[in-house]
Structure 1
Amino acid sequence: MESQKIHPHQLSADALAAKLQVDVQRGLSEAEAQRRLKQHGANRLTPQRGKSPWRLLFEQVHQPLVYILLIAAAVTGFLQEWVDSSVIFGVVLVNTLIGFIQEANALKAIDALSRVLTVTSTVLRDGQRRSIAATELTIGDVVLLQSGDKVPADLRLLQIRELQIDESALTGESVPVEKSLAILSNATVLADRTNMAYASALVTYGSGLGVVVDIGDHTEIGRINSLLSRTVELETPLTKKMGQFSTLLLWVILGLAAVTFAVGVWRGQPLLEMFMAAVALAVGAIPEGLPAALTITLAIGVSRMAKSNAIIRKLPAVETLGSTTVICSDKTGTLTQNQMTVQSLYAGGALFGFTGSGYTPEGDIYLNNTAVAHSHYPVLMECLKAGLLCNDARLIADVNTWRIEGDPTEGALLVSAHKAGLHQATVSLANPRLDAIPFESQHQFMATLHHNQALDVRQVYLKGALESILARCDKAFDLHMQPMALDKALLQQQVEQLAAQGLRVLKY
């Protein structure tokens, strides 16, 4: 029973359970789980053997120009030119330390990938639900998932309820994947395996149950970790040019020193005197400030990149990134921050605009390119309230940043409501949820029932695809929340205009 030979997405639930020898209703027994744990190992990524500090230090010195500087420092020291020798050696030391510290810090950040599985998970063992460390999972364990969980291992899904999972870490796709139980062909690519849940992915909505089919290094994220450890270090344009320049400089300096020595001897000068003159010429011709200036300039670039949470392992990589002119990408979220933002809201026959970006709830609301007081437009406030209440996401304030727990689209609705002063905790307390119909692909809408305590009435809020919502509506509201006839043709035209701007359109 080797996990790498299993193709779980093409097997039925019964066939997979039989192959893994597990009762899906009861899970593994504790004894069997321990036996498999010993057989397959812990569910963790194998730490890759890193470079020793001495090797990192040597790699900073292993450059032609640095070798030239070290020779120059040694020769000037031999000639008892202590000031020159100290300056040259100091330049080499600063250059080496900056490169060493930068690469060591970058390696620590990269090693964080090895800790993505350090989470807890809920499993069925002996028919009982148990919360265990993800490292204790083994092949055949039955795992329960719910919104907010990080998938602890590669799972074949057996039961789902409106399950959506954010797999952007693997596929680059920012939109959560709606899962299904359909049996797929063996040729189905990773991004289309909707009956699978992969380690390190985040459950954004719904719940599910799956059986572990791969753990540790055999998971998809484990394969990525393995590929990272085997990447070939290529020379950048800068390092190539510096290598060529250093080689040329070395031969030019040695040539000039040799010519100087030969001419002096030919003219009858003492050998020792001409040797000292040739050495002085060679040392004086070496640009000892060049490595330090180059390293400090690149370090400034690395520091600026670090402020944007970009990890730069090798200093010369900054130059390569800076010289990039064209980037081709077909995956939303690969080059962006994977944060959605409400840009426009059409309500009461008026198109409102929003400023700000990301999940930070700061920005103004505009109408006809003029900032407006949102409280003067009841229909705007009611629309934002609908987006806030018919919502399962949470807006969370962290240190110096904001993040969303849940679906990015729902998160964007929360942020837009916050910009108008509608806060989730306050509005939800005044309008407690009584029931909900989760989003289903066949219905294309989500609905929630609330008790409006101020008016002592029950209200239903819907959001979803335009066609689905329009089919259930016959009236609309004007800017002052007065009922009016619903002009579906005008609304469809407005939707097409927004879609033509590259915006995702949601009706509620």
Structure 2
Amino acid sequence: MPTISTPEKPHQVPIDQLLKALNTNPKTGLTADEAKNRYDEFGPNALQEVKLESPLTILLRQFTGVIVYILAAAAGISFFLGETVEGFAIIAVLLVNAVTGFLLEWNARQSMDALRKMDTTPARVLRDGRIREISSEEVTVGDVLVVEAGDLVAADGNLLEVSQLQIDESALTGESLPVDKNTEIPPDESPLGDQHNRLFKGTPVTAGNGRAVVTGIGQQTELGKIATMVKDAKRSATPLEAKLDALAKVLIWVTVGLAALFLVVGLFRKEEPFRLIETALALAIAAIPEGMSVVATIALAYGMLRLAEKKVIVKRLSAVETLGGTNVIFTDKTGTLTQNRIEVNTLQLPDANAEIEVDAEAGKLTIIAGNLSVIESDAYQQLIRVGVLCNNADYDSVEGKPKEVGDPVEVSLLKFAIAAGHSPDQIITNFPRKAEQAFSSDTRIMGTLHTHEGGYFVAVKGAAEEVLERCQSLSEKDRKAYYDISEKMAVDGLRTLAFAFRETSEKPGDNFTDGDLTYIGLIGFLDPPRTEVTPALKACRAAGIKVIMVTGDHPATALTIASKVNLIEPGEEMVMTGKDLKPLDQLTEADKTKLLACRVFARVSPAQKLDMIDLYQQQGDIVGMTGDGVNDAPALKKSDIGIAMGLRGTQVAAETADMVLKDDSFASIVSAIAQGRVIFENIRKFVLFLLSCNLSEIFVVTFAGFLNVGNPLLPLQILFINIVTDVFPALALGVGRENSSLMQQPPRDPKTPIMDGYDWRMVVFYALAMTASVLGAYWLGTRELGLTAKEGNNLTFYALSFAQLMHVFNLRSGRSFFVNEITRNLYIWYALLLCLLILALTYYIPFLHKVLSIQPMTTTELWLILAAGFAPVLLVQIVKGIIRLGK
């Protein structure tokens, strides 16, 4: 069997050499035996399966992390000391956290499965000289693939022959318009969007037909390479996860330091080792905010539900907070900033021009700029007529919904006519078609012949130079002027077509487009911007978020859209293409500076998108990526927060992303960003609350130990306070109301931890205030009221619990103590009532009474508990008032 070799750059290889290298006969294709041998050698034309994580793996991962290890160690020590109730209580906390994390993380990771769904279509190949329909998985290297309109290309290949073949490659390249295919060899370094002699797996055929020799299957196709990048793209820990982990490490050092100091001092005093270990265990439990992960999860889930009401589906809870911290957003153009449909945008007639907006459903045409008189000219009416007659598309309304059939450009011409107040059906009835000269890559024009009022009417549209060449009555100067106008329109990002007509009383010959035509004018087509994008981008700019367009489309088109939606401002009109981008490891500092200054990138490959995201992430930015195509999937996964378009987006993009916009509205991203910022602020508040409460427990235990006044809190009591009386107020803080002022501020520095220096100082201050109040009550109770050690312990437990509940009012940000976001939050009041009820139950329910070592109390002790709870709030408000007056 001859050796089969596939070239590295198949788009550069002449077709005869390629057929020889693949040992393929273009007339008969492969034989059945040869196809079977190659199938055995190269394998099926399918993407490699990726083994998804098992439920057990995801569950086990919930038991990793610094806080988990510390709690597990505390449980082990409790069992060793015979404190089985404490040990089981800690284990229960670990299980609750693990189950919560497992349920929220167990969502399908179906990126590869979604890609494989594109493989299930049948394919037609030439085998033994006959066209046979086979499963796309059976297509192999060297097969001659036969495609026509409506097919999904089964493999990568080089074209052997074409007939008006057009392919929609938007999912791979981002190019809005279907691509005209030919057999000519493109330049060496042509990106995918410019390799017009190639077919790519997974792209739909929109028009025409053709044959191609298969050069790549399965993982070796461009689709397969993207699948590999989706699989290999690493997703690092989210900023919230990283910051909570860093916070946990700080708590470990605090715990280890205090426990070690306490043990050293205790041993120096020759105290009982058992008591020292018990106190050290209490310190360990006090240092860890057991409810932090649960509260963070619920706070994020609440944000997720609020976003769902705004048509934003969040697949990973931490993505809500991540988006709030995002300061760079990479966005695709097609379908994200634009509507992913072609519309008539510019009319260029010999004596007038105008930029228009078409609304076919409303039957309305609006002139945005240019000459209002354009719609009054005869050329305007002829332009509409020729656009309808020289047309094979159909546009109709089915059950109240528009139905488009045919080439998008031709559909847009019909919509243009309807918006202008004309009926395409009536025009076609008045001008019955008698003949057609189809568009071809050779003539680059289309012509139709019609009868009308006893005479004949010829309608022509096509490339400007070809149409102008046939308008023989034009002077050379006029012909050049009109051609220059078409070139300028193309530079401005418009796809242009020229229109002409001829009326005659005698029936023309077969080549009816070759006669002297009358030039009408030019139409520029554009994928129109989404109307809500401009205010959304303005909001992003006000919020200090840098938005960057990254598309596979033409540079001029990309720059035009960027200008229309105000993504760029005067002075920012720079666009870089894939050819301008070096690999990441080859960039100089000057290259990086230029790249970071650019806001528009065109003709960019999926691999280059990954490099650009990586570069910004290396700068310390939190990067969001929006997209809708297969080509966006790797970048959606690589980014800190991937945002897919749900309506127009591919299944691959939706299942790879962290968030999906159900309405495809870029404005929804702004809502998500606002919610993300609120979530982070809420998380910061409840972390501040939890840490100050936990630190107060540490101070109470430590100071009591150093003062040698006994152990005022038992480990199980501390655990109860952390899980019950701390968690519910923290949770209420986590679901606080929105703060619109947050979107008028720049994004927080992604390098800034959840708790900055000021926050830590406030934590210590709050903790010291509560500690002084509670230990003061303990001292009064044991020294002045004659309470026993157990009764003093009882007093401390309730005093600290009540002080921590009242502490929630210290976290207001407004000037008024009585009217602020805390007092307006109904969940705060619900949480306080619930916690007070639970505390009452611990006193009256025998089981809790026994487990927590609760002792009977007198009325005097109750007043002492209330005083210890309110005193820290009063102290904090006095100090804050003094600080405010001093400013």
Query: Displacement of 1:25 after TM fit?
Result: 1.9
Contact map agreement 2:70 2:284 (CA 8 A) in 1 = no
CA distance in 2, matches of 1:419, 1:99: 49
Determine whether 1:97 maps to 2:87. no
Displacement of 1:248 in angstroms is 1.3
How far 1:112 moved relative to its partner? 0.6
2:163 is aligned with 1:165 = no
2:163–2:440: 8 Å Cα contact kept in structure 1? no
Distance in 1 between residues matched to 2:192 and 2:300, nearest whole Å: 38
Letter in 1 for 2:166: Q
Distance 1:83 1:399 in 2: 62
State how 1:65-464 maps to structure 2 within 5 Å.
65-68=67-70, 78-80=84-86, 89-101=95-107, 104=108, 107-183=109-185, 190-260=192-262, 271-273=273-275, 275-296=277-298, 316=318, 323-326=325-328, 333=334, 336=337, 338-345=340-347, 351=354, 353-354=356-357, 364-367=364-367, 386-387=386-387, 390-391=390-391, 407-413=407-413, 416=416, 435-441=435-441, 443-449=443-449, 460-464=458-462
**Whole-angstrom distance in 2 between the partners of 1:467 and 1:200:** 34
Query: How far off its partner does 1:378 sit?
Result: 10
Deviates more, 1:209-218 or 1:399-408: 399-408
Summarize deviations over 1:71-92 as a string: whole Å, max 9, x none.
Answer: 6788699444988875664344
Equivalents in 2 of 1:80, 1:389: separation in Å? 85
CA distance in 2, matches of 1:10, 1:457: 50
CA distance in 2, matches of 1:401, 1:284: 63
Deviation at 1:460, TM superposition (A): 4.4
Specify whether residues 29 and 2 from structure 1 end up closer, same or farther in structure 2 by C-alpha distance, changes over 3 A only. closer
Q: 1:255 Cα deviation (Å)?
A: 2.9
CA positional deviation for 1:398: 11
Whether the 8 Å contact between 2:259 and 2:283 is mirrored in structure 1 is yes
Equivalent pair of 2:125/2:133 in contact (CA under 8 Å): yes
Tell me if the contact between 1:352 and 1:365 (Cα under 8 Å) persists in the aligned partners: no
Secondary structure of the structure 2 residue equivalent to 1:439: coil
Match of 2:34 among 25, 32, 35: 32
Counterpart Cα distance in 2 of 1:501 and 1:468: 21
User: Which piece of structure 1 moves more, 198-207 or 270-279?
Assistant: 270-279
Residue in 2 that maps onto 1:478: none
Residue 49 (structure 2) aligned to one of 44, 47, 50: 47
- How much does 1:157 deviate? 0.8
| In 1, Cα distance between equivalents of 2:427 and 2:66 | 66
Q: Secondary structure at the match of 2:184?
A: coil
Cα distance per residue 1:315-366 (max 9 Å; x no partner): 555655554444578x85496564444445567957463267xxx9578532
Greater shift in the superposed pair: 465-474 or 244-253: 465-474
SS at match of 2:234: coil
1: CA distance between counterparts of 2:402 and 2:246?
Answer: 47
Aligned equivalents of 2:234 and 2:264: distance in 1?
45
Q: Which residue of 1 aligns with 2:881?
A: none
Q: In 2 relative to 1, CA 471–194 (structure 1 residues): closer, same or farther, beyond 3 Å?
A: closer
Please state which structure has a larger fraction of its residues in helix.
2
Normalized against structure 1, the TM-score is what? 0.73
For 1:10 and 1:492, how far apart are their aligned partners in 2?
Answer: 31
From the superposition, tell whether residues 49 and 95 of structure 1 become closer, same or farther in structure 2 (CA, over 3 Å). Answer: closer
AA matched with 1:213 = T
CA separation of 1:503 and 1:185: change in aligned 2, threshold 3 A: closer
Whether the 8 Å contact between 1:3 and 1:139 is mirrored in structure 2 is: no
| Structure-2 change in CA distance of 1:495 and 1:49 (3 Å) | same
Which is further off, 270-279 or 389-398? 389-398
Within 2, Cα distance between the matches of 1:285 and 1:198? 58
Counterparts of 1:256 and 1:237 in 2: how far apart (Å)? 29
Residue 152 of structure 1: how far off its partner (Å): 0.8
CA contact (8 A) 1:152 1:199 kept: yes
Aligned AA for 2:220? H
* Aligned equivalent of 1:63: 65
CA–CA distance in 2 between the matches of 1:289 and 1:422? 67
> For 1:307 and 1:447, how far apart are their aligned partners in 2?
51
CA distance in 2, matches of 1:194, 1:65: 57
Does the aligned pair in 1 maintain the 2:160–2:211 contact within 8 Å? yes
- Counterpart residue type for residue 253 of structure 1: T
Alignment partners' CA distance in 2, 1:64 and 1:418: 66
Query: Secondary structure at the residue paired with 1:181?
Result: coil
- Give structure 2 stretches of 5+ with no counterpart: 500-887
SS at match of 1:111: helix
> Which structure 2 residues correspond to residues 13-28 of structure 1 after superposition, within 5 A?
13-28=15-30
Partner AA of 1:98 in structure 2: L
Whole-angstrom distance in 2 between the partners of 1:179 and 1:218: 22
Determine which structure has more spread, i.e. the larger CA radius of gyration.
2
Q: Which moved more, 1:497-506 or 1:277-286?
A: 497-506
Task: Sort the Cα spacing of 1:428 and 1:203 in 2 relative to 1 into closer, same or farther, 3 A.
Answer: farther
Label 1:421 to 1:280 Cα distance change in 2 as closer, same or farther (>3 A): farther
1:26 partner amino acid: T
Structure 1: give runs of 5+ residues left out of the alignment.
476-486
Describe the SS at the equivalent of 1:365: strand
**Counterpart AA for 2:11:** H
SS at match of 2:145: strand
- Which deviates the most, 136-145 or 305-314? 305-314
Contact persistence 2:358–2:415 (CA under 8 A): no
How many residues are treated as equivalent by the alignment? 486
Asked if the contact 1:73/1:86 (under 8 Å) is kept, the reply is no
Moved more, 184-193 or 89-98: 184-193
